[in-house]
Every structure is written in structure tokens, then in C-alpha cells.
């Protein structure tokens, strides 16, 4: 018989199940789970229904399941972000400039992730406000520190865009969409840069006639060096074409010989027609192979001996360069439609392509005078530093130079030569790299416009490099590399206060 506790309120009845204490309910559930007694017996002992016993048993089973199969904790909150209008404007600019997003992509992201609707017109207004803040930074930058400028032209929807950048810092000082790309337009833009201190030692560009003529109008005495990359890019297809021509001649001769063997096997005698064609195919094959080999050798001389940093002085390279041009001209009759354009290009751009060697000779001569050594030793040290570190010739030649110069003077001179080596500019690689980055933005818009280009120029100049092959560029922006002075984050330069976590 179950003994019930006294009723706290006289005159009211309490069910026996409600009167069970928590430890009694727990014991009841354990007895039911262990099945020591039947459910009906447990219900009779505690004066409760069998349904109540089943309920307690089910709760105990759930507790055991949760104990041995715990539910994963909810994902912790990393931090809370106050989403204000100013933050959304920064987010819009970051999506457009950092993530290369389109206007409609920004609208979709804000709608799906923030449940916030922003029109394309509002995004356009945010960009225009950023342009007003960015343009003064572009126009007020002093360009006196530009040592060598790289110039080029790119197109967007048949509209020319004039591009200029500093080779050392990669600072973009010219990004202008124009109606024409003639000499007058280039001259006007260069003279505007001169008002901001632009007076480099030289510029480097491809063979564009208007570009070079415009620079001649603006700076009569400023040399414009030729771009080695573009020239070698023109020579490479010639070598490949002549090699394919030689392979085709080999295949033609081999096919005729195979046909002649089959005819001899069928008839027991040679075919006169095939024999005559074979007599013409063999000399043609030999001539095609010889021409391909000669041109490939001349191209290798250009690439590895004449237009490379290591090599003879300017006079020696000019003699070798003229020899290559003469040899190409001597073979021009064998394949005029392919050899002649390359030969004419080499003949016209010779002085411009070798202009970097003249500057290199001047710098090496200054080092030789400073350290009171023979200029030949300085050039030999430069040639040694261009050899791969795994090349055994490098260590042999270094040991000989160290013996001739002495330990301390060798070390000091090698450091000075390394600086000169890093400053040699043979190609407009910087401007080609900049053009490739600009393309990632241009393809999103049919018409770029001067406002968009001003904001893009500001962003590229004040965005810090996350990584670089040059350690001195890591963590710095092109503007910092040009001026040597730090500046705030590009969003702060536009007047925004960046979010910071506590």
C-alpha cells in the first residue's frame, strides 16, 4: 500500500503520481528498464497507471540516448558586426574593386546574405562619391621619383586607353581613355605629367609609332627604349613556322619514298614520275631543314647572347645584332613572306632594343671608377651573377674573381653590381602585367569612362601587395614604394572609418 504525503491544502485530493518525488520517479524508470518486475506490478506498488510507468521509462530512455549521443553545440558567434550605411558603402566598394564584382552581383549578394535591397542607381552614386575623393590623390601625386616609365595602349570597346607606370614601384601615373591615340594625344598627356614632376631617365615601350612620336614632341631628349619581350614574341612564330615547314618537307619526302617502295613491290620496277618528284623533294627537304636550323640558331643568339643582361658591351652587341640581321636578309629569298617582316622589324628597332646596354655600360664604368678596378672585371662579375646557382661555372669564376679583387673589395663590388643588375630594364613587363589586371575590370563594363578609371587608378596605386617575388614590395602599396612614405588604408583615404574588432 502506497503512503501518500499529507495534503498541503485540506479539502483537496492529490493523485499518487503527482506525489512521487524525483528520485522515486527515477527509481521507477530504472526498475522498468531493467525489467526486474512486470509493468503491472510496478504500477500496483506505486498506485499509478501503467501508462505513467511507460512515460517515465520513455523519459529515461531519452536521457540515456542524449547522454551517449549528445547533440552538437550550436556554432559559436565569432563577433557581432554593426551594419550601418557607411559599412554598406565600404562593402560595395570592396566587392567592386577587390572582388571584381559587377553592379548586379553586388545587388544579389546584399539581397541574399544581408536581406537588404540596394538599387543599381545607389551603387552608382556610391562609386561617384568615391571618385570625388580619389581623384585628388591621383592628381596631386609628385612623380619626380619615377626613374623609368613604361607606356602602352589598350582598348575597351574600340576606345583607346593610354597607360603609364613606374617600372620600379609599379605606380600607375597614367590611365586615360581617349578618342584617339595619335602623337598629339600622347604629347598632351605626357606634358600634363611633366607638370607633376615627371622627368624619368628613360621610358620603355613597344614599337608603337604614335606613342614614340608623342614622346618625341613632349620630351625631345628623353630616350624611349625598345621592348625586348615584344621582339622575341615576334621572332618565336618565325622559328616555329620554319620548323613546321621543315617537318612538312620531311613528311613529303617520306611519303614519296613509301609510294615508290609500294610501286616497286607491285610491279618490280620504279615509277619514273615518283622518281622525278623524289629528286626534287630531297634537296627541298635539305634546304628547309638547313633554313629552320639557321634561323633557330640566330634567334637563340638574339635571346641568349645579344638581348640578355649578361654579355659584351654595346659595341660588341651591335656588331652581333647587325650580323644576325644580315644573315636573315641573306636567307630572305628562301621564305620572304615570313622572314622579311621580322628582318625589317629587327633592322628598324636595333638602336632602341640595345639602348639598355648603353645605360648598363655607363653604370658598370662608374662602378669600375669608384672601386678603381678594370671595367672588364666588373662586367665579368655581372656575368657571373646572372649564372644559375647550380651551374658549376659560377663558383669557379667567382673564386677566380675573388682571388683577383680580394675578399672585402669583391664583396662590396658584388653588392654594387647586384644593385645595378636589379635596375636593368629591357622590357615593359610591368605595363603588360598592369594591362592584364585592368582587363579583369574592363570585361565587366561595356564603357569604362574617365570616372571609373580614376577610381581604379587610385585603388591599384594604394592597395598594398599581399605577396610579391620582391621582398621589398610585400605589405606595401605602389604609392608607398614610389614615395617611401606610408599612408592610411585606401578606404580611409576615401573618408571611411574601417570596422575593427574589439
92 pLDDT higher than 80: yes
Query: 303-309: long-range contacts (C-beta < 8 A, 24 or more apart)?
Result: 303/232, 303/235, 306/354, 307/228, 307/231, 307/232, 307/353, 307/354, 307/426, 308/386, 309/360, 309/382, 309/386, 309/421, 309/424, 309/426
Task: Name the least confident of 62-71, 100-109, 114-123, 301-310.
Answer: 62-71
The pLDDT, as a whole number, for residue 70 is 67
Average pLDDT over residues 228-247: 92
Residue 24 vs residue 331, higher pLDDT = 331
pLDDT at 165 over 90: yes
DSSP-derived secondary structure for 297-348 = HHHHHIIIIISSSSSS-HHHHHHHHHHHHHHHHHTGGGSHHHHHHHHHHHHH
pLDDT tens track for 260-287: 899 899 998 888 898 899 999 999 999 9
pLDDT, position 19: 79
- pLDDT, mean of residues 311-325: 93
- pLDDT average, residue stretch 344-373: 91
- The mean pLDDT value for 31-41 works out to 82
| CA gap 69, 64 in Å, rounded | 8
Is pLDDT above 60 for 41? yes
At 71 the pLDDT is 66
SS3 186: helix
- The answer on pLDDT for 336 being more than 80 is yes
Q: What is the predicted pLDDT for the residue at 206?
A: 86
- 6 pLDDT band (50/70/90 cuts)? very low
Q: Give the per-residue pLDDT at 479.
A: 95
Share of the chain above pLDDT 90, in %: 56
Q: 285 in helix, strand or coil?
A: helix
- The pLDDT value given to residue 52: 87
What is the structure's pLDDT at 207? 81
Residues 40-47, mean pLDDT to the nearest whole number: 82
Instruction: Return the closest-CA partner of residue 127 out of 455, 446, 447.
Output: 455
- Residue 467 confidence (pLDDT) above 50: yes
> With 60 as the cut, is the pLDDT of residue 378 above it?
yes
Amino acid at each position: 500500500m502506497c503512503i501518500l504525503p499529507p495534503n498541503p491544502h485540506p479539502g483537496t485530493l492529490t493523485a499518487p503520481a503527482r506525489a512521487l518525488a524525483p528520485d522515486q520517479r527515477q527509481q521507477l524508470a530504472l526498475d522498468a528498464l531493467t525489467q526486474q518486475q512486470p509493468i503491472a506490478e510496478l504500477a500496483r506498488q506505486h498506485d499509478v497507471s501503467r501508462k505513467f510507468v511507460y512515460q517515465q521509462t520513455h523519459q529515461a530512455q531519452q536521457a540515456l540516448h542524449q547522454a551517449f549521443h549528445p547533440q552538437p553545440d550550436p556554432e559559436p558567434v565569432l563577433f557581432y558586426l554593426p551594419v550601418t550605411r557607411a559599412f554598406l558603402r565600404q562593402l560595395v566598394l570592396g566587392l567592386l574593386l577587390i572582388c571584381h564584382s559587377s553592379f548586379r552581383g553586388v545587388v544579389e549578394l546584399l539581397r541574399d546574405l544581408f536581406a537588404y535591397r540596394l538599387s543599381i542607381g545607389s551603387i552608382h552614386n556610391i562609386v561617384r562619391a568615391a571618385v570625388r575623393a580619389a581623384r585628388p590623390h591621383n592628381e596631386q601625386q609628385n612623380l619626380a621619383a619615377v626613374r623609368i616609365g613604361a607606356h602602352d595602349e589598350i582598348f575597351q570597346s574600340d576606345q583607346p586607353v593610354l597607360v603609364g607606370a613606374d617600372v620600379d614601384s609599379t605606380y600607375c601615373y597614367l590611365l586615360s581613355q581617349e578618342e584617339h591615340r595619335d602623337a598629339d594625344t600622347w604629347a598632351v598627356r605626357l606634358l600634363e605629367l611633366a607638370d607633376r614632376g615627371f622627368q624619368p631617365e628613360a621610358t620603355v615601350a613597344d614599337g608603337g609609332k604614335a606613342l614614340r612620336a608623342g614622346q618625341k614632341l613632349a620630351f625631345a631628349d628623353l630616350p624611349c627604349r625598345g621592348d625586348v619581350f615584344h621582339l622575341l614574341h615576334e621572332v618565336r612564330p618565325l622559328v616555329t613556322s620554319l620548323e613546321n615547314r621543315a617537318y612538312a618537307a620531311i613528311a613529303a619526302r617520306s611519303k614519296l619514298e613509301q609510294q615508290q617502295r609500294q610501286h616497286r613491290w607491285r610491279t618490280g620496277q620504279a615509277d619514273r614520275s615518283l622518281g622525278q618528284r623524289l629528286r626534287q623533294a630531297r634537296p627541298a627537304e635539305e634546304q628547309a631543314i638547313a633554313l629552320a636550323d639557321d634561323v633557330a640558331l640566330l634567334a637563340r643568339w638574339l635571346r641568349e647572347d645579344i638581348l640578355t643582361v649578361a654579355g659584351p658591351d654595346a659595341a660588341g652587341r651591335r656588331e652581333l645584332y647587325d650580323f644576325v640581321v644580315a644573315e636573315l636578309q641573306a636567307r630572305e629569298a628562301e621564305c620572304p613572306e615570313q622572314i622579311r617582316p621580322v628582318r625589317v622589324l629587327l633592322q628598324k628597332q636595333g638602336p632602341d632594343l640595345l639602348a639598355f646596354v648603353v645605360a648598363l655600360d655607363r653604370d658598370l664604368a662608374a662602378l669600375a671608377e669608384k672601386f678603381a678596378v678594370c671595367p672588364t672585371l666588373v662586367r665579368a662579375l655581372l656575368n657571373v651573377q646572372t649564372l644559375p646557382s647550380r651551374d658549376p661555372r659560377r663558383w669557379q669564376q667567382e673564386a677566380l674573381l675573388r682571388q683577383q679583387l680580394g675578399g672585402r673589395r669583391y664583396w662590396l663590388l658584388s653588392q654594387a653590381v647586384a644593385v645595378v643588375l636589379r635596375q636593368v630594364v629591357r622590357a615593359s613587363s610591368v605595363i603588360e602585367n598592369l594591362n592584364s589586371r585592368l582587363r579583369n575590370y574592363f570585361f565587366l563594363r561595356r564603357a569604362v569612362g574617365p570616372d571609373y578609371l580614376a577610381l581604379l587608378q587610385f585603388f591599384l596605386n594604394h592597395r598594398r601587395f599581399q605577396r610579391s617575388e620582391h621582398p621589398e614590395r610585400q605589405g606595401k602599396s605602389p604609392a608607398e614604394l614610389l614615395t617611401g612614405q606610408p599612408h592610411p588604408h585606401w578606404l580611409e583615404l576615401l573618408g571611411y572609418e574601417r570596422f575593427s574588432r574589439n
